[in-house]
Structure 1
Amino acid sequence: MRYGEFLEIVPDQPFKVRSLQDNNTATQLLKSGRITAAVLPPELAGDLPLIWEKTYLPPADKTAATIAFVGGVLFVLLGVVGAITTTHPLVVFANFFVDTIRGIPMLVIILYVGLPLAGALKSASNGYLDLQMMTRGIIAIAIGYSAYMAEIFRAGIEAIPKGQIEAARTMGLREWHVARFIVVPQAIAIVLPALGNEFIAMLKDTSLVSILSVRDLTQRMREFQAQSFLAFEPFNSAALVYVLLTLIAASGIKALDRVVNKSRGHAED
């Protein structure tokens, strides 16, 4: 963020700052004296003096978070392949991964990925892979929930009648077309409620990353409680926020489920 500064600021007056998205509006308000400084997006700031700059995640950690997301998807696909076939070369590893990860508590996964594993990667890369604690938590949660997602998708795929797949193959459809037009649409409709439950559980499990000193909602609640010495208010506030988040997520999932089921009903008609 960059702030536009003007020398006409009168001492001892309130320092009024406003976040704006347009240079012209910021210039007019600054010249009129209604504000003292303007917060502008970096791409609009031009050559204005830099006072303070903050990014949510550094570029290296953004890359790591993207890799964690892609890796989580790959782990899910790997688990699904291992669950629905017995001939794939990676079936042994896929089954081992799913069974092992599902047997480890999420807190242990977060601690393992966030501390010893991240430290080993940092040492092996000579300090290049020095990830922030938040990124470590994201990677740990992605690994942990990919195993559960794989089992959910496996159940959804196995729920599709085998006759439909065999009929599609008899008609000459390739495996990719069978998956795209027959398996995937029906599997998504079947597993959507279970995926919604896992998403809500994952949303609540993000509070566990506070064990890595990540300043999420839970960690900030603990910091405020330590500073204020209030017994219940910080915990009640954090619980209320989590309840609101889960209610919003549940409402969105139910709406999406209705849309998918409605589309599925039209397709069957």
Structure 2
Amino acid sequence: MSVARQSRVPRSRLLPITDSFSRLPYWLLLAILIGVILLWGIINDSNYRIIFYALQQGVTTTIYVSIISYILAMSLGLLLSLMRVYKNRVTQEVSSFYIEIMRGVPMLVLLYYISFVGAPALVTGLNWIGSPLIDAGIIEPINIRNVGFTTRAILALTLGYSAFIAEIFRSGILSIEKEQTEAGQMEGASYWQIMRFILLPQAVRNIFPALGNEFIAILKDSALVSVLGVQDITQLGKVYSASTFRFFETYNIVAFLYLVMTTGLAMLIRYVERRLNR
């Protein structure tokens, strides 16, 4: 018995250590190692350092486009999801039509379409609506040239991702038990009171990881706005590499910057998710 007990003691002490090693995110350690190597190159290599400074402004533009697009897409997506779950045939059909169209068009095509077709048509429509005020000299007509490509890119990302976010909200709302809606009705709460105070808070808690993933997706897809000439990380990297022919170093920095932002955001989402699940 004593021999068996002695053989089990060292093993039990080692188990927590082996378990902790098995739970280590080795992919993250590898990513950190690559990041440290690139950071060391930026600090000690003048070429990397020059490229990094050249792309700094693009980081600000990328973050700005991503955050504004996400906030607007969240707002529009929530509205679309409420229209789709509301027991009204007209709102259901309108929201379903919009969602299916937007989900079926590639984001790059949508960027081109909104920028060169949708935005000019919107400006023409607004000028037509305001034509009495324009003719009276009260306001000036809108010139499409005053609508920058950054604004057009944000509009395209908003319209495209609002469809996906709407489906996430809808699935979260439908995942809540019907008994909670019935309990709210028994207390005399209206449909919108039940939605605001009972269903939506629980739905947002359930779908938070999916909403976070959509933000990461928008951040990555913001690289597509470079096709419109928006001065984001990708566009500045493309211009710099074309002028210096340092493609290897430039796109190493471009990839590193995106990796830092997306990995940091993913870790933040996991942290908040763990806090919400407590």
Q: CA RMSD in A?
A: 2.5
- Whether contact under 8 Å (2:73, 2:165) holds in the other structure is no
CA distance in 1, matches of 2:271, 2:124: 47
**Counterpart contact for 1:165–1:178, Cα < 8 Å:** yes
For 1:127-172, what per-residue CA distance to the aligned partner results, in whole angstroms no more than 9, with x for missing partners? 4453111111011101000000000000000100001111121122
> Which residue of 144, 156, 161 maps to 1:145?
161
User: In structure 2, what is the equivalent of residue 198 of structure 1?
Assistant: 214
Answer yes or no: is the 8 Å Cα contact 2:85–2:92 preserved in 1. Answer: no
- Which stretch shifts more, 135-144 or 71-80? 71-80
Q: Which residue of 2 aligns with 1:107?
A: 108
TM-score w.r.t. the length of structure 2 is 0.66
Question: Does 201-210 or 125-134 show the bigger shift?
Answer: 125-134
**5+ residue gaps in structure 1?**
1-55, 263-269
- The residue number in structure 1 matching 2:170 is 154
Alpha-carbon separation, structure 1, partners of 2:122 and 2:96: 25
Contact 1:82/1:88 (<8 A) preserved = no
Equivalences for residues 49-198 of structure 1 within 5 A: 72-73=73-74, 75-123=76-124, 125=127, 126-129=141-144, 130-198=146-214
**Partner SS for 2:247:** coil
Q: For residue 270 of structure 2, what is the amino acid of its counterpart? A: K
Q: Is the 8 A contact 1:83 1:151 kept in 2?
A: no
Shift in Å, 1:254: 1.4
Name the structure where helix makes up a greater proportion of residues. 2
8 Å Cα contact 2:108/2:224 also seen in 1: yes
Structure 2 residue aligned with 1:218, among 234, 251, 271? Answer: 234
Over the matched positions of the two proteins, sequence identity in percent amounts to 37
Partner residue in 2 for 1:267: none
Q: Is the 8 A contact 1:78 1:94 kept in 2?
A: no
Q: Relative to 1, partners in 2 of residues 1:177 and 1:117: Cα closer, same or farther, differing over 3 Å?
A: closer
Query: Amino acid of the residue matched to residue 253 of structure 2?
Result: S
**Partner of 2:52 in structure 1?**
none
Which SS does the other structure have where 1:191 is aligned? Answer: helix
The residue that corresponds to 2:137 in the other structure is: none
Shift of the alpha carbon at 1:256?
1.8
Task: Deviation per CA, 1:18-76: give whole Å up to 9, x if none.
Answer: xxxxxxxxxxxxxxxxxxxxxxxxxxxxxxxxxxxxxx99xxxx9xx98x778645531
TM-score, length of structure 1 as denominator length:
0.68
Match of 1:247 in 2: 263
**How far is the alpha carbon of 1:189 from its aligned partner?**
0.9
- Amino acid of the structure 2 residue aligned with 1:237: I
> Which protein, 1 or 2, shows the higher relative CO under an 8 Å CA cutoff with sep ≥ 6?
2
Q: Distance in 1 between matches of 2:265 and 2:72?
A: 24
Query: In structure 1, what residue type is equivalent to 2:218?
Result: M
Distance in structure 1 (CA, Å) of the matches to 2:71 and 2:214: 18
User: Deviations for 1:224-244, whole angstroms, at most 9, x for unmatched residues?
Assistant: 101110131111110010000
1:227 to 243, 261, 264: 243
Provide the C-alpha distance between the structure 1 equivalents of 2:70 and 2:238, rounded to a whole number of angstroms. Answer: 28
Partners of 1:122 and 1:83 in 2: CA distance: 29
> 1:243 and 1:231, CA in 2 relative to 1: closer, same or farther beyond 3 A?
same
Say if 2:70 and 2:215, in contact at 8 Å, map to a contact too. Answer: no
Match of 1:23 in 2: none
